[in-house]
Chain A
Amino acid sequence: MPEAMGFFTDTTICIGCKACEVACKNWNQLPATNGGVSELSGDSYDNTRKLDGTHWRHVKFIEQFEGPYNGRWLMMSDVIDMNPAAGTAQKCTLCYDRMQVGLEPACAKACPTDSIQFGPIAELRTRAQKRVDQLKAQGEKRARLYGDDPNGPLGGLNSFYLLVDEPEVYGLPRDPKLPSRNLKSSGVLSAATGAVLGLVALVGLRKRRMDEIGGGGERGSEN
């Protein structure tokens, strides 16, 4: 099996230049505006207004990537978004088309500070841990990795992050879960409710008949 590839995003060196967003839009031919309104923020030095399926697509994207040409993705959060030009939902492809010809993803390529790095997951994990240790040594005690732990939620995310605050501050769930976790319990409870209501309907019919027999109803024998 080819080596698992993924993203490591070091949020501490992101300068909010949005080159990744522009690169993503550019490569994937996504519109810069939605209904005539620019969606790239230009009013502050902070990062973005919105990171999602039509901007910097992978940032809010948790994928399980089983080797470069064999993607299996799990989506969550704001990852899927409507493409206003196409009128359909779209999400990060990990630049599958670029990877097929040996290019790194457009967002990682464009990032001037190497905040977004693409490569073999094992290597990225080592590099990320070193960076955390470095930050801690410099006094940034809150430095932590998010989604790197293979024994953690969802068996580790192949797009993981270095954060210096609570995950929620970055719009990331603390303990990401698959939506399908609720499928079985919801289905069983609904089926049980259906059975109860069916029973209620039948009991009603039976009572109607009994009442008529009890009351000497002339139509009691009909059913």
Chain B
Amino acid sequence: MSDTFVTASPHWTWFIIPYFFVGGIAGGAYFLAAVLEWFGRPEDRPVIRTGYSLAFWGAVLSGLLLTLDLGRSLRFLNMLFQSDNFPHLMFKSFSPISFGAWALLLFGACAFVSWYAETGGTPAKLIAAVGGLLGFFVAGYTGVLLSVTNRPIWADSPWLGALFLASGASTGAAAIALFAPGRGATERSLRWVTTFDARALIVELLLLIVFLVSLGTVAKAWLSVWGLLLIVGVVGAGILWPLRLHLKPAGAGALRNPAVMVLLGGFLLRCVVLLASNSIEYHRVASVVAR
């Protein structure tokens, strides 16, 4: 039995699940916008704008969810400043939470500037470069954070950060594909986004398999309703089905829209990874060992 089973689950509330989801979308969407900012062409502007606004509003929502999760909201200042030493910054390089708090703040600032400034040009490109990297960081660090605990499943594999990053990319692309048409995106820009989305889904699927294999005997912990949801919801509805829809569009309706299904799958991924581990109570584990 892995030692991670005799630990207690963290005191997070459900706010953390939508945060992981929204943070991933915001980071992924910004990254794609940044790539187009550098290497795209004028006709891609609507897609870029969509990416920036998803990133900005996503960052705002993320901050809100995280602050609410604290229970005592003003305490979020303690993540950024040393309370006894006020203007001094609180930053711990070994802590993904500390890193993440700063990355989210700086990412939000980049997203705001990119979203607010209408036009491209060199300054926009520079901001996009910084924000794009921060975006991927925001999308992926949440998985790293889970691995840097002593909890079952999360701490039993080093692949969770990579998996969340890929999911951030696929859901970010899906969100753009969903909203960009309303902002006047051209067929050609959109095709690049959806092609990227399909490839990101393949990367995500491979990483998910590697992640499950890397768990070794701990993979048994998935023998629960969350494991079922992982197979049916995340892999089936959220990866394989949209991949098939990419190859063979099936007409109108939310369930036939690959972007909607990818977003659903991304949300379920965060749910099952969080809940599969959180549902393991060490008191129960201890009593099983005792018998």
Tell me, rounded to whole Å, the shortest Cβ–Cβ distance linking B193 to chain A. Answer: 9
The interface residues of chain A lying within 8 Å CB-to-CB of B191 are 208
Q: Given A78-B282, A197-B200, do A204 and B136 touch, yes or no (CB 8 Å)?
A: no
Q: Tell whether, in the assembled complex, residue A78 and residue B144 are in contact, meaning their CB atoms are under 8 Å apart.
A: no
The reply to whether B203 and A196 form a contact with Cβ atoms under 8 Å apart is yes
* Chain A residues positioned under 8 Å from B148 (CB to CB): 179-180, 182-183, 186
A-B contact pairs, 20 of them (CB 8 A): A77-B7, A77-B150, A78-B8, A165-B290, A168-B1, A171-B6, A174-B1, A177-B3, A180-B148, A182-B148, A185-B158, A186-B148, A186-B160, A190-B140, A193-B162, A193-B207, A197-B169, A202-B35, A222-B41, A223-B39
Give, as a whole number of angstroms, the nearest-CB distance from A48 to chain B.
Answer: 11
In contact, A200 and B150 (Cβ under 8 angstroms) = no
- B66-84 CB contacts (< 8 Å) to partner A: 71-72, 75
Stretch of A12-20, A82-90, A92-100, A117-125 on the interface side: A82-90
Mark A159-196 against chain B: 1 for CB-CB distance below 8 A, else 0. Answer: 00000011111111111110110110111011011101
Contact A208 B192, beta carbon cutoff 8 Å: yes
A interface footprint on B193-236 (CB within 8 Å = 1, 0 otherwise): 00110011001000100000000000000000000000000000
- Majority SS at the chain A contact face: helix
Q: For A78, list chain B residues within 8 Å (CB).
A: 7-8, 282
Residues of B within 8 A of A196 (CB): 203
Question: Separation in Å of the A17 CB from the closest CB of chain B?
Answer: 21
B248 contacts the other chain (CB 8 A): no
B161 interface contact, C-beta 8 A: yes
Question: Is A201's CB under 8 angstroms from B144's CB?
Answer: no
A223:B136 contact, CB within 8 angstroms = no
Compute how far the CA of A142 lies from the CA of B167 in the bound complex, rounded to whole angstroms: 48
Residues of A within 8 A of B158 (CB): 182, 185-186, 189
Mark contacts of B44-56 with chain A using CB atoms, 8 A cut-off: 1 yes-contact digit, 0 otherwise: 0000000000000
- Would you call B289 and A88 a contact (CB within 8 A)? no
User: Residue A76 at the B interface, CB < 8 A?
Assistant: yes
Collect the chain B residues with CB atoms within 8 Å of residue A180's CB: 94, 148
Pairs of residues from A and B, 10 with the lowest C-beta to C-beta distance, nearest first: A173-B3, A190-B161, A185-B158, A78-B8, A193-B162, A168-B289, A190-B140, A186-B144, A182-B147, A194-B136
Q: In the assembly, what is the distance between CA of A52 and CA of B283, in Å? A: 12
Q: CB-CB < 8 A to B203: which residues of A?
A: 193, 196-197, 200
Which chain B residues border A204 with CB–CB below 8 Å?
192, 195-196, 199
A52 vs B203: C-alpha distance in the bound complex, in angstroms?
A: 41
Contacts of B200 on A, CB cut-off 8 Å? 197, 200
**Residue A210 is within 8 A (CB to CB) of chain B in the complex:** no
Q: What sequence of 0s and 1s flags, for each residue 27-39 of chain B, a beta carbon within 8 Å of any chain A beta carbon?
A: 0000110011001
B235 to chain A, nearest CB (A): 18
Q: Which of B141, B165, B200 has the most CB of A within 10 A?
A: B165
From B4, B35, B41, B149, contact of A223 by CB (8 A): B41
Bound-state Cα–Cα, A208 to B36, Å: 12
CB-CB under 8 A for A172 and B144, given A193-B166, A200-B200? no
Residues of A near B41 (CB, < 8 A) are 219, 222-223
Q: How distant is A172 from chain B, measured CB to nearest CB, in Å? A: 6
Is B143 in contact with chain A by the CB < 8 A criterion?
Answer: yes
| B149-161 Cβ-contact flags toward A at 8 Å (1 or 0) | 1100001001111
- Encode A201-223 as 1/0 by CB contact (under 8 A) with B: 11011001000000000010011
A179 near B75 with CB under 8 A, answer no
